[in-house]
């Protein structure tokens, strides 16, 4: 058994965050947005994502306020839901993923779309002032933007981290152009770990 393996969880966190602060370019960030950038880098092991993170000024702060007020967290994937550390949440905020709701299956088939996008349609009465975290499906983010353009109440913050080769970059570009409060990683990279880390960062700052 190697003697130099660091096993103490607090020490692992301390060293990880020290490396991130040394290697990642965090100069553009402050307050909860800086914490969010650090946590997203931590989730993926890539300091360079800090340089490409995009955000609307005040968006992270709005997310913190929404969490402190007990607003729900709406997520597009079970992996995002299970990456959110419940004990960090400031107000026992509900974490809602409707991907496995039977209505999502039916709606997806009827509309010829993904189940992820159909599940977003089911958020309508929960969107107002919520924190949305998209960590998987570009179609979910496109659907959300369409709903809001059609008059659905906007969330307090949209965390845009869909990943992949078809639509991911385009959906995040549309989010950035929307005028809505957002944090997003442009391009193909993203994922549920980054989306959950962004929520965890804001939850810690909202306490």
Residues that bind its own copies (CB under 8 A): 1-2, 5-9, 12, 15-16, 19-20, 42-46, 78-79, 81-83, 108, 111-115, 117, 139, 142, 146, 149, 163-168, 170, 174, 187-193, 196
Q: How far apart are CA 149 and CA 98, in angstroms?
A: 21
Active site residues: 42
Q: How far apart are CA 194 and CA 202, in angstroms?
A: 13
Distances from the Cα of 122 to the Cαs of 44, 64, 161, 203, in angstroms? 30, 24, 20, 24
Q: How far is the CB of 161 from its own copies (least distance, A)?
A: 10
Select 83 or 204, whichever has its Cβ closest to its own copies: 83
Q: How far is the CB of 65 from its own copies (least distance, A)?
A: 27
Q: How far apart are CA 37 and CA 14, in angstroms?
A: 16
Select 51 or 166, whichever has its Cβ closest to its own copies: 166
Token pair 């913190």: residue: 64
Select 1 or 92, whichever has its Cβ closest to its own copies: 1
């Amino acid at each position: 058994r190697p003697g130099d393996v660091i096993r103490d969880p607090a020490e692992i966190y301390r060293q990880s965050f020290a490396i991130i602060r040394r290697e990642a370019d965090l100069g553009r960030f402050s307050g909860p947005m800086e914490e969010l950038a650090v946590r997203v880098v931590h989730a993926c092991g890539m300091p360079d994502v800090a340089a490409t993170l995009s955000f609307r000024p005040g968006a992270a702060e709005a997310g913190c306020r929404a969490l402190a007020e007990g607003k729900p967290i709406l997520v597009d994937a079970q992996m995002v839901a299970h990456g959110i550390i419940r004990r960090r949440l400031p107000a026992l905020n509900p974490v809602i993923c409707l991907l496995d709701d039977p209505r999502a299956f039916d709606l997806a088939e009827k509309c010829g779309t993904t189940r992820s996008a159909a599940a977003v349609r089911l958020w309508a009465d929960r969107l107002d002032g919520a924190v949305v975290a998209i960590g998987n499906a570009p179609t979910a983010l496109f659907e959300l933007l369409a709903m809001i353009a059609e008059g659905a109440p906007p969330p307090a913050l949209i965390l845009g981290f869909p990943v992949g080769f078809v639509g991911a970059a385009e959906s995040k570009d549309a989010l950035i152009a929307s005028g809505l409060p957002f944090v997003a990683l442009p391009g193909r990279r993203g994922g549920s770990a980054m989306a959950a880390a962004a929520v965890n960062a804001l939850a810690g700052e909202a306490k």
